[in-house]
A and B are shown apart, each in its own frame.
Chain A
């Protein structure tokens, strides 16, 4: 269970949001809405512990994040604007390193995850040779290795084509069906059908 209470985020001299509450339990999907610069990315970074809130706290299974990092990080996967792929390594090598760092053994292999995302033909190409959409697909393939727990996805549909966006929706739904949680930001409707997607508008917390 991921729970945020009274979160306040200040960037520079601007207060982005304050008194923000949200709570996710097994199988919950949450979409964060806000204008450009409203603090969607900042909220995701607070939720995954990359940055610290001005006020309030984030709790994982009832314990504050700060004292519970290894447990939380074993269960959480963060996909940011930057895809965490090194351009000099192939998608396969990148995924293998990510899996070793994630501290989780996955049921499916890295090759299988990349094949599912339609990258079977470019497993061994250096990532800098891939298009932006292909890199995003590779990053999403990384999520397939970490089912369950909580996924924090920052604009996961960036640069994806229609087919891949539908696939991403299915993957998010499958994560919820498997008892996992997903928090994501997007300007479009993702993951329609299946489990309901709760909506959080940052404008409500200003």
Chain B
């Protein structure tokens, strides 16, 4: 009898999650469309002043990304909880922290990564100066995985709660404030010709901290929810 290895188990879980997402591919576009619509709403509300829009663009794009990430979060563990798959994840001999990390990666691939791809389009529409694009993309590349990790902690904590969706938002949005400050701050600094490096480094540090702390927290929260 050969024991299947942990990387193989994580890969199998990732493949399974992506297969399920593909079977429901109508839903894949939801966070992306939400992101575009929220950003467009800001633009409509702010009026046709290009100068104002360019200044507001970092805030608009980052708040849009935050809300779009939130949209798919309640589903991260809920379906598996209903089907009983979550119990099997916790009963697997493989480190559960790595399995939930694989699950969080799926969430990012389906909601965070597409946002990074369409962000230049929105930046163009909102009239964000080109020299600020690298700061925007680098920030989103580090910030959206951090949002997924923080969000997955919230999703695990609110799994057994009634009205979990609203509770999840109330829990996750305040925790996301540092990501928002450093992410939007880096773009603003780049627009004003300042140094975007420092906020980006802090954002990277926040991502590493989330990577270190979130998986174990998620597992503890899931165990508590299933107890």
Contact = CB atoms under 8 A, between A and B. Distances in A.
B71 interface: no
Given A100-B13, A103-B9, A73 B87 contact: no
B162 interface: no
A87 B83 contact: yes
B118 to A, nearest CB: 26
A101 B8 CA distance: 9
Contacts of B87: 50, 78, 80, 82, 84
Interface residues of B, number: 32
B84 A82 contact: yes
Interface string A58-72: 000000000001110
B3 interface: yes
Contact of B91 (A52, A76, A85, A89): A76
A86 B226 contact: no
Given A50-B91, A51-B226, A100-B13, A84 B85 contact: yes
Interface residues of A, number: 36
Interface in A94-153: 96-107, 126
B83 A85 contact: yes
B84 A83 contact: yes
Interface in B62-105: 79-80, 82-85, 87-94, 99
Contacts of A51: 226-227
Contacts of A78: 87-88, 91
A86 B16 contact: yes
A73 B91 CA distance: 6
B41 interface: no
Contact of B4 (A52, A71, A89, A99): A99
A102 B88 CA distance: 8
B213 to A, nearest CB: 21
Contacts of B94: 70, 101, 103
Contacts of A88: 19-20, 23-24
Contacts of B3: 74, 103-105
A50 B226 contact: yes
A73 B92 contact: yes
A88 B226 CA distance: 23
A104 B12 CA distance: 14
B12 A97 contact: yes
B83 A84 contact: yes
B79 to A, nearest CB: 7
A48 interface: yes
A56 interface: no
B84 A89 contact: no
Nearest to B8: A100
A85 B83 CA distance: 6
A75 B13 CA distance: 20
Interface of A: 48-52, 69-71, 73-74, 76, 78, 80-89, 93, 96-107, 126
Nearest 7 pairs of A and B residues by beta carbon:
A82-B84, A100-B12, A103-B93, A74-B93, A105-B2, A73-B93, A84-B84
17 contacts: A50-B87, A80-B84, A80-B87, A82-B84, A83-B84, A84-B88, A86-B80, A87-B83, A88-B20, A96-B12, A97-B12, A97-B13, A97-B15, A101-B89, A101-B92, A105-B4, A126-B23
